[in-house]
Amino acid sequence: MDSVKEVVKEITTRLGKLFSAELGIRLRKGSSAEIFKWFVASLLFGARISETIAKNTYREFERDDLLDPEKILKRGWEGLVFTLDKGGYVRYDYKTADKFLEVMGNLKKEYNGDLNLLHDKSAGARDLEERLKNLGKGIGDVTVNIFLRELRGIWEKANPQPQELTLTAAKNLGLLENTKKVESNLEELLDIWKKNRVKGYGFPNFETALLRIGKDYCRRKKCSNCPAKELCEAVKKQ
């Protein structure tokens, strides 16, 4: 079997489950309600906090019925802090509550609370990213990347560049040679996927698998624990 095809298949099938899917969010049909749920989750994932705490906090938003812009605004600052604290988001609770209220207020004012409308009004991929960041000062490149990565193929204009950790994993696995060519990294990964598609999966699954490897193993130098260590060129050179 071709080595690249083997790598793509192994990591995608083993590590490619989308973060949105893990939370029970169904993005495939592009409904405004489901996309908003993923937006809430992305705002939580975007902070320097553990993945577990972000997931737990999203579950608290579910339990408190806070998966609608209007309901979040009605909850108010103190109510949001309470929900965030229940999920373990204590370190960032105050400023995250501020961020949520600002973002939801702007989303409602500018786009009637509908992220699909924000997408439709965007002139292209970069304008889409800027519109998302302009919803509130707490939304940065990381949050936008998290949000849009899983909307590839659902939103026409969702086309963020791969995260650095994604590229690190791709390089270690021998999929990319020069990750410093920022403008071509995405195109190269897309080309690899098109030539080595895995039935039942899409490019976002492949990208998510790479991100998990980069985040959980490459960054932490836990090569011996990595589920892809037998496929990794970096490990073979050690």
Q: What is the pLDDT at residue 177?
A: 82
The class that CATH gives domain 3-18+161-236 is mainly alpha
Residue 131 C-alpha from the chain's centroid: 17
pLDDT band at residue 224 under the 50/70/90 scheme = confident
Which pTM does this prediction carry? Answer: 0.93
For the chain, the average pLDDT equals: 93
Q: What is the pLDDT at residue 221?
A: 86
Where exactly are the structural domains of the chain? 3-18+161-236, 19-149
pLDDT band at residue 182 under the 50/70/90 scheme = low
Q: What is the pLDDT at residue 125?
A: 97
With 0-12 / 13-18 / 19 or more C-beta atoms within 10 angstroms meaning exposed / middle / buried, residue 179 is middle
Kindly report each contact of residues 51-59 with a partner whose C-beta sits within 8 Å and lies 24 or more positions away, as own/partner: 52/88, 53/87, 53/88, 53/89, 54/89, 55/22, 55/23, 56/87, 56/88, 57/83, 57/84, 57/86, 57/87, 57/88, 57/89, 58/23, 58/87, 59/87
Q: How confident is the model over 156-181, as pLDDT tens digits?
A: 999 999 999 999 999 999 998 876 66
Q: Which residues pair with 155 in a beta bridge?
A: 152
Q: How confident is the model over 60-80, as pLDDT tens digits?
A: 999 999 999 999 999 999 999
| Structure-block tokens of residue 45 | 């994932």
DSSP classification of residue 152: B
| Overall average pLDDT of the 134-151 stretch | 95
Q: Does the pLDDT value for residue 1 go beyond 50?
A: no
Assign domain 19-149 to its CATH superfamily: Hypothetical protein; domain 2 (1.10.340.30)
Read off φ and ψ for residue 132, nearest 5 degrees. -65, -45
| Overall average pLDDT of the 214-222 stretch | 89
Q: Does the pLDDT value for residue 137 go beyond 90?
A: no
Q: Does the pLDDT value for residue 108 go beyond 70?
A: yes
Q: How confident is the model over 114-133, as pLDDT tens digits?
A: 999 999 999 999 999 999 99
